[in-house]
Chain A
Amino acid sequence: DSGVTQTPKHLITATGQRVTLRCSPRSGDLSVYWYQQSLDQGLQFLIQYYNGEERAKGNILERFSAQQFPDLHSELNLSSLELGDSALYFCASSRTVVSGNTIYFGEGSWLTVV
C-alpha cells in the first residue's frame, strides 16, 4: 500500500459525459501528479500540483482539468468524454518537487467510456 488513495476504482460512463476522479496523497506529501495509461500510449504525464498551485503540464487535453485543494487532495475532471479517453488514470504524490524525492503511485481509477 503506497498510501495514495484514489476513488473511484472503476467507472463506466457514456460519451459526452463528465467525470471527476479523486486523489488523496500520502500524509505529508505536498505534490500531486496525474498520469494516464492507455494500451497504445503507455504512461503519460498529465499535470502536477505543488501545495495547491499548478507546477507542470504534460499531455493534458483542454477537456481535462485538475486542481489541488487546501487539504492537499486533488481532483481530475474529465469532460465531453470520448471513447479514446478510456484508460487507467493514476495519481501520485511526493513530499516536495526535489528530484531525489520518491514519487508514490496510487492503484489507479479505471475509466471506461462507452
Chain B
Amino acid sequence: DAKTTQPNSMESNEEEPVHLPCNHSTISGTDYIHWYRQLPSQGPEYVIHGLTSNVNNRMASLAIAEDRKSSTLILHRATLRDAAVYYCILRGANSGYSTLTFGKGTMLLVSP
C-alpha cells in the first residue's frame, strides 16, 4: 500500500474547526483514502473515507485534492471528545486483501 505523511501532532481549541492534513503523493488510481481515529485504550474508530470526491458525514468532512496527492480531514467544531490520534490510510483495491496499514498518525490535542 502507498504511504501517507501526517504531522505528528496538532492543537486546537474547543468549538473551533480543525483541519488535519495528509499527504499521499504515491497514491494509485484505485486507492481509497480512509480516516480512523483512536482514543486512549480504545479500538480505532472509523471516521470517513473517499475515493475522488469530497465526502461529508455526521462526524467530519473529507476534502480530496484534485490530483489526489493530498487530503484534509475537517472537524467542523472540535470537542474535547475529539482528542485522539487520527490516522490517514490508503487502502488499495488491487492489493487482493485490502487491510489497513496504520502509520503513526496525528495526535490531536483539544483545549477547553
Interface residues of A (CB under 8 A from B): 2, 4, 33, 35, 42-45, 48, 50, 55-56, 58, 88, 90, 92, 97-100, 102-108
Q: Which residues of A contact B102 (CB under 8 A)?
A: 35, 42-45
How does the 8 Å CB contact mask read for B1-42 relative to A, with 1 for contact and 0 for none?
Answer: 000000000000000000000000000001110000010011
Known: A42-B104, A99-B32, A99-B91. A56 touches B46 (CB 8 A): no
A102 touches B46 (CB 8 A): yes
23 A-B contacts (beta carbon < 8 Å): A2-B45, A4-B43, A33-B100, A42-B102, A42-B103, A43-B102, A44-B102, A45-B101, A56-B96, A56-B97, A90-B44, A92-B44, A92-B100, A98-B98, A99-B31, A99-B32, A99-B91, A99-B95, A100-B51, A100-B93, A102-B46, A107-B43, A108-B41
Q: Which residues of A contact B91 (CB under 8 A)?
A: 99
Expressed in whole angstroms, the minimum distance between the Cβ of B45 and any Cβ of chain A is 7
A105 touches B51 (CB 8 A): no
B97 touches A48 (CB 8 A): yes
Q: Which residues of A contact B49 (CB under 8 A)?
A: 100, 102
Question: How many of chain B's residues touch chain A, expressed as a range?
Answer: 20 to 34
Q: Which of A2, A43, A90, A105 has the most CB of B within 10 A?
A: A43
Interface contact tally, CB-CB below 8 A: 62
Chain A's closest residue to B104 (CB) is: A42
Q: How far is the CA of A85 from the CA of B57 in the complex (A)?
A: 37
Q: Which residues of A contact B92 (CB under 8 A)?
A: 99
Within 8 Å by CB of B93, from A58, A99, A107, A108, lies A99
Residues of B75-109 contacting chain A, CB below 8 A: 91-93, 95-104
A108 touches B43 (CB 8 A): yes
Q: Which residues of A contact B30 (CB under 8 A)?
A: 99
Q: Which of B51, B96, B98 has the most CB of A within 10 A?
A: B98
